[in-house]
Amino acid sequence: SLDPSSLVAFEDAAAGHDGILSDSTGDLFIKPCTPAEIAFYESSLASHPSFAALMPTFMGTLRLGSPDQTLAAQASTSGVTPGTAASLPLSDPGLSRGKKLDTQTAIVLENVAAGFSRPNIMDLKLGARLWDEDAPPEKRARLDKIAAETTSSSLGFRVAGMRVWQGAREGGQAKDAKGEGGDDGYKVYDKMYGRKFTADNVKEAFWEYLRSSRTGVDEGLAIGLIKGFRLAKRFHDDVSAIEECLEQQESRMISASILFVYEGDPTTRNQAWAAAQESPRFQPGAQAEVDSEVNFDRQGETDNHGSSDGDDDDDDDDDNASPKLSVTKMIDFAHAKWTPGLGPDENVLQGVRSIRKILLEIFIALFKQWKEQL
Instruction: Residue 111: name its binding partner from Mn ion, ligand ADP, none (Cβ under 5 to 8 Å by kind).
Output: ligand ADP
Q: Which does 254 bind (CB under 5 to 8 A by kind): Mn ion, ligand ADP, none?
A: none
Q: How far is the CB of 332 from ligand ADP (least distance, A)?
A: 3
- Exposed (0-12), middle (13-18) or buried (19+): which is 337, by Cβ within 10 Å? middle
Nearest residue to the partner Mn ion, using Cβ: 332
Residue 169: what residue type? R
What mask, x for binding ligand ADP by CB under 6 A, covers residues 153 to 172? --------x-----------
- Shortest separation between residue 173's beta carbon and ligand ADP, angstroms: 24
Q: Are 328 and 242 in contact (CB under 8 A)?
A: yes
What is the smallest separation between the CB atom of 48 and ligand ADP, expressed in angstroms?
Answer: 18
Tell me the CA end-to-end span of the chain in Å, nearest whole number: 52
| Amino acid found at 369 | Q
- Report phi then psi at 338, rounded to 5: -85, 130
Q: Is residue 257 a contact residue for ligand ADP (CB under 6 A)?
A: yes
Among 21, 31, 327, 348, binds ligand ADP (CB under 6 A): 31
Least Å distance, CB 16 to Mn ion, is 4
State in angstroms the smallest separation of the CB of 357 from Mn ion: 22
Q: Which does 121 bind (CB under 5 to 8 A by kind): Mn ion, ligand ADP, none?
A: ligand ADP
Task: Say which entry of Mn ion, ligand ADP, none residue 297 contacts (CB below 5 to 8 A, set by partner kind).
Answer: none
263 touches, from Mn ion, ligand ADP, none (C-beta below 5 to 8 Å by class): none
The reply on whether position 113 binds ligand ADP by CB under 6 A is yes
Instruction: Using CB under 6 A, pick the residue from 44, 111, 212, 326 that binds ligand ADP.
Output: 111
- How far apart CA 39 and CA 17 sit, in angstroms, is 20
Of 166, 183, 165, 186, nearest to 174 by C-alpha is 183
Is residue 233 within 8 A of residue 361, CB to CB? The reply is no
When the beta carbons of 13 and 128 are compared against ligand ADP, the nearer one is 13
C-alpha to C-alpha distance for 194 and 158, rounded to whole angstroms: 6
Verify binding: residue 76, ligand ADP, rule CB under 6 A: no
Site membership for ligand ADP, residue 29 (CB under 6 A): yes
CB of 299 to ligand ADP, least distance (A): 32
Q: Considering only residues 331-370, where is the footprint of ligand ADP by CB under 6 A? A: 331-332, 334
DSSP letters for 192-245 = HHHHT--TTTTHHHHHHHHGGGG--SS--HHHHHHHHHHHHHHHHHHHHHHHHH
Query: Could you tell which of Mn ion, ligand ADP, none binds residue 29, using a CB distance below 5 to 8 A set by kind?
Result: ligand ADP
Q: Does 230 bind ligand ADP (CB under 6 A)?
A: no
Q: What is the DSSP string of 29-78?
A: EEEE--HHHHHHHHHHHHH-HHHHTTSPPEEEEEESS-SS-EEEE-S-TT
d(CA 374, CA 360) in angstroms, rounded, equals: 22
Name the minimum Å distance from CB 28 to ligand ADP: 9
Binder of residue 56, out of ligand ADP, Mn ion, none (CB less than 5 to 8 A by kind): ligand ADP
> Smallest Cα–Cα separation from 211: which of 228, 196, 226, 195?
228
Q: Of the ranges 14-22, 73-81, 129-137, 355-363, which one interacts with ligand ADP (CB under 6 A)?
A: 14-22
Q: Using CB under 6 A, which of 2, 30, 259, 359 touches ligand ADP?
A: 259
Query: Cβ closer to Mn ion: 120 or 212?
Result: 120
Give the up-direction half-sphere exposure of residue 232: CA atoms within 13 A in the CB hemisphere.
29
Distance of CA 123 to the CA centre of its chain: 7
> In angstroms, rounded to a whole number, what is the distance separating the alpha carbons of residues 311 and 303?
13
Report the interface residues with ligand ADP, using CB under 6 A: 12-17, 20, 29, 31, 56, 109-113, 121, 123, 161, 257, 259, 331-332, 334
